[in-house]
Each structure stands twice: as C-alpha cells, then as structure tokens.
C-alpha cells in the first residue's frame, strides 16, 4: 500500500493549488454576492487542462486517473467549492456521457466543454422525482429522424448559464429505469425555457428548472443506446459522488486550518484559546473524521482506476463527507467568536455551499440505501415494498 502521490500528481496538485489560491479564493465571495458565473475563469481552466482530467486522450481529455481528477477537484475546492460543483461534478457527469456519443456529438459538445468555452448541465431530477429518479416523467418520442422532447427538469446546477444540457427522458412508457434514454440538448433550441431559483448558497452557479415544450432534437443527439440512459447516469454517480465529497471536505479542511491558526493567536483568560481542551478537542475530532473520509474517497477512486466497483464506498462517503464537513465549518464559525458570523470571513458562505452537497447527487438517506443494498442485498430495500 502506497499513500504517496507520484511525481506528476504532485506537480498537478501544486499547480491547481496555486490556481485556486490566486484565481478562485479571492473572488469566491464576490461571485456569490453578484451571482456571476465566472466564464473567463472556466475558459482558463480549459486552457490549463483542468476540465475533463479523466476523459480519454482520444476524446480530447488528459486521460489521467480518477485519483488524479480527485486531486484536481479537491484543490480547486479549496478556493471555490461552488464553481467546482458545476465544472467537476455536473461537468464530469456530462463529459462521461458525451464520451458515449457519436463523433459529431463529441466535436460539437465535448470539445467546447473541455476548452472551457461552453457550460453544461446534468438534467435528471424532476418536480415529481428526485431520490426515486427512475420515476421520471419527461418524454422523448421518436418522430422520423428526430425525437420530440417534453417535460421539466428541476433543481439543475448552473442551468441558467448552461449552453447545452444532458437530459434524461422516457422513450418507452411504463418500463421504469429501462425506458429512460439520455440526450444532449442545446439550450437555445425553440421550445426550451428556463427559470432561476433563489438558493441558500452556491449562488454563482444559479440553479433552476429547464422546460421542454415540443422540442425537436435530431436522433444523433441520443447518447448511447435507447433505454440505456439510466444505467449510464448511475455509473456516472459512482464517481461524481466521490468528487463531490472531496469538494465538501476541502473547504472544511481550509476552515479548520484557519481556525487552528486563529485559536493559537487569540487570547482569553490570559491564555491562547488553543490551550483550552473545549476548543482544541472539537478541532481534533473534525480533522480526524475528515481525514478518514478523505482517505476513503481516494480508496474509492483507486478502486475505480483498478476497474473495480466503488458503489459501496461512494455511498459511504456521500453520507459522511458533507455532514462531517458542515459540522466542522459550523464549529469553525463558533470558534471564531462574533467575527466568525460576519460576511468578512468566507466561513458562512462555505457552510451554505457545503450544505448543498448533502442533497446534490443524492441525500444521506439514498446514500445509506446504496450502502445497505451492497451490504445486505436488494431483497431488504424498503422501496421494494411499494405497490
Ligand atoms: C444544490 C443542489 C444541486 C443539484 N443539482 C442537480 C443537478 O445538477 N441535476 C439534477 O438532476 N439534480 C440536481 N439536484 C437535485 C437532487 O439530485 C435532488 O434534490 C435529490 O436527489 C433529492 O431529490 P428530491 O429533491 O426530489 O427529494 P425527495 O426525493 O422528495 O426526498 C425528500 C426527502 O425524503 C428522503 N427520502 C426519499 N426517499 C427515501 C427513502 N426511500 N428512504 C428514506 N428517505 C427517503 C430524501 O432523502 C429527502 O431527505 C440538485 C439539488 C441540490 C440541492
């Protein structure tokens, strides 16, 4: 067992850490306040090869391992965990799907995404189905050489800025997950409209709903086989959930480092705060838990790099990482005293942003269901009892 990063990984880690420190962190709060998606910065990420790290080289990516992409996600998130949700979670899911597309699809959509020129969104959730995603109602009816798309996708990360979307719709009625197909859809087609949400956090990557009213899309926009969409989405989640967890842990770790520095400096009752165990022990507990989950994230990515399943590990980290991270950041706010509650520090924003990660890509409950299924088998899942 070797926990050492190789030479290339150390180089990438240093480069991305510098980028996050200099180009993301100073603007993290400004983009949130102004609700601005920093397109120029994303273009720069594309130029530097930070997008599509694990996408095959033949498809225009770097062809690096999932572990290396995890390092990139973690480092970027030290500067801005919100933007990374769009570029490296929705982005990762969409790039993975586009790799199943035709040569034309790759040229038209994957290439501009990897170059940071176009923003993408992953559209699975609907007003009536989130956790029970296979119950989705949007339809794509075949009509000659086209499909006619109808329905609403809700809660979608960065949808207001997205140039195109990967959309899951039912191509066969009454067949559950097996009747779901995936399509790549430009957002400027006639019949497409959007509506923004007012969110608690992640305000730079504005979430919202996208509506499709008799939208005609060429059959060439089908991704993979007809009916294979749901399986492709679930395969993507096995990895994107781990990236998302590293994105939760990174701002929590930065907050803990800042808080450790603060409590070593701040004097109360004639002593540094750090010398009170009521102050130091919670910090010790948060760092211990987060370091353990962080290692499990990398183990899960390592398993995927070896071609093995990471479903159980992805479920485990998905319920733990965002929960432990929000707990840690909340204590960091309290340990900063009244200053911690101001908007002068990024702590409150990190808390709002990381809370989103508890829900996005699956709640703690569904994550535990995944782990339960892996440990006990399908027969004991509560949703097998529905009528
Ligand atoms: C910040 C953010 C970003 C998002 N980005 C995207 C995106 O880009 N694309 C996309 O498609 N979706 C996105 N979503 C939607 C997200 O995936 C769903 O919100 C999530 O899967 C939960 O679905 P729901 O909101 O319909 O809740 P519901 O499914 O209605 O669940 C409500 C509550 O009931 C619990 N619950 C449901 N079923 C069970 C069960 N069987 N056992 C125990 N508890 C259960 C859930 O855990 C939850 O707490 C995003 C959401 C957020 C908050």
pLDDT tens-digit map of 30-55: 999 999 999 999 999 999 999 999 99
Q: Is the CB of 131 under 6 A from ligand 1?
A: yes
Say yes or no: 133 and 81 in one domain.
no
Tally the C-alpha atoms within 13 A of residue 81's C-alpha that lie toward its C-beta: 30
- pLDDT of the residue at 385: 65
Q: How far apart are CA 368 and CA 379, in angstroms?
A: 15
Say yes or no: 224 and 249 in one domain.
no
Q: In total, how many domains does the chain have? A: 3
Q: How far apart are CA 325 and CA 330, in angstroms?
A: 9
Q: How far apart are CA 217 and CA 211, in angstroms?
A: 14
What is the average pLDDT score of the chain?
96
List, for residues 152-191, the tens digit of each pLDDT value. Answer: 999 999 999 999 999 999 999 888 899 999 999 999 999 9
Q: Which domain holds residue 29?
A: 7-119
Say yes or no: 12 and 109 in one domain.
yes
Q: How far is the CA of 122 from the centre of ligand 1 (A)?
A: 14
User: In this model, does residue 282 exceed pLDDT 90?
Assistant: yes
Say yes or no: 16 and 100 in one domain.
yes
Q: How far apart are CA 346 and CA 352, in angstroms?
A: 10
Q: How far is the CA of 365 from the centre of ligand 1 (A)?
A: 10
State what percent of residues in the chain have pLDDT above 70.
99
User: In this model, does residue 316 exceed pLDDT 50?
Assistant: yes
Say yes or no: 95 and 178 in one domain.
no
Q: Is the CB of 384 under 6 A from ligand 1?
A: no
E-strand stretches of 5-144: 120-123, 139-143
Choose the final residue of a domain: 229, 250, 265.
229
Look at residue 1 and tell me if it is in a domain. no
- pLDDT of the residue at 387: 47
Q: Is the CB of 219 under 6 A from ligand 1?
A: no
The closest-lying atom of ligand 1 relative to the alpha carbon of residue 361 is 17
**Ligand 1 test: best mutation among 32, 85, 131, most atoms within 8 Å of CB?**
131
DSSP 382: G
Look at residue 386 and tell me if it is in a domain. no
Supply the pTM of this predicted model.
0.96
Q: How far is the CA of 361 from the centre of ligand 1 (A)?
A: 7
The CATH code of the domain that includes 300 is 1.20.140.10
- pLDDT of the residue at 386: 57
List, for residues 108-164, the tens digit of each pLDDT value. Answer: 999 999 999 999 999 999 999 999 999 999 999 999 999 999 999 999 999 999 999
- pLDDT of the residue at 381: 87
The confidence band for 270, taking pLDDT boundaries of 50, 70 and 90, is very high
List, for residues 51-104, the tens digit of each pLDDT value. Answer: 999 999 999 999 999 999 999 999 999 999 999 999 999 999 999 999 999 999
Q: How far is the CA of 79 from the centre of ligand 1 (A)?
A: 26
């Amino acid at each position: 067992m070797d926990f050492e990063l190789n030479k290339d990984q150390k180089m990438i880690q240093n480069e991305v850490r510098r980028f996050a420190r200099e180009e993301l962190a100073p603007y993290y709060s400004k983009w949130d306040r102004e609700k601005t998606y920093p397109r120029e910065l994303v273009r720069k990420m594309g130029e530097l090869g930070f997008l599509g790290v694990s996408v095959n080289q033949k498809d225009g990516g770097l062809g690096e391992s999932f572990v290396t992409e995890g390092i990139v996600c973690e480092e970027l998130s030290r500067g801005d965990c919100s933007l990374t949700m769009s570029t490296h979670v929705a982005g990762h899911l969409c790039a993975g799907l586009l790799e199943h597309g035709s040569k034309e699809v790759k040229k038209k959509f994957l290439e501009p995404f990897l170059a940071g020129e176009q923003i993408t969104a992953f559209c699975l959730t609907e007003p009536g189905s989130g956790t029970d995603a296979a119950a989705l109602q949007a339809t794509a009816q075949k009509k000659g050489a086209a499909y006619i798309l109808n329905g609403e996708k809700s809660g979608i990360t960065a949808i207001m800025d997205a140039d195109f979307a990967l959309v899951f719709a039912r191509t066969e009625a009454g067949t559950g997950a097996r009747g779901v197909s995936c399509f790549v859809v430009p957002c400027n087609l006639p019949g497409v409209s959007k509506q923004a949400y007012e969110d608690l956090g992640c305000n730079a990557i504005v979430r919202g709903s996208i509506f499709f009213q008799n939208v005609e899309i060429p059959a060439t926009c089908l991704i993979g086989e007809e009916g294979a969409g749901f399986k492709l989405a679930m395969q993507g989640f096995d990895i994107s959930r781990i990236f998302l967890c590293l994105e939760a842990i990174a701002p929590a770790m930065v907050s803990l480092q800042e808080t450790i520095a603060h409590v070593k400096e701040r004097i109360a009752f004639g002593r540094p705060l750090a010398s009170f165990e009521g102050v130091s022990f919670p910090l010790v507990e948060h760092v211990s838990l987060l370091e353990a989950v962080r290692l499990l994230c990398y183990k899960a990515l390592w398993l995927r790099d070896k071609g093995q399943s990471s479903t159980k590990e992805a479920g485990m980290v998905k319920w733990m990482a965002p929960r432990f991270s929000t707990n840690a950041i909340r204590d960091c706010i309290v340990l900063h005293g009244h200053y911690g509650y101001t908007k002068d520090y990024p702590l409150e924003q990190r808390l709002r942003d990381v809370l989103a990660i508890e829900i996005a890509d699956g709640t703690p409950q569904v994550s535990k269901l995944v782990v339960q299924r892996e440990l006990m088998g399908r027969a004991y899942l509560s949703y097998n009892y529905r009528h």
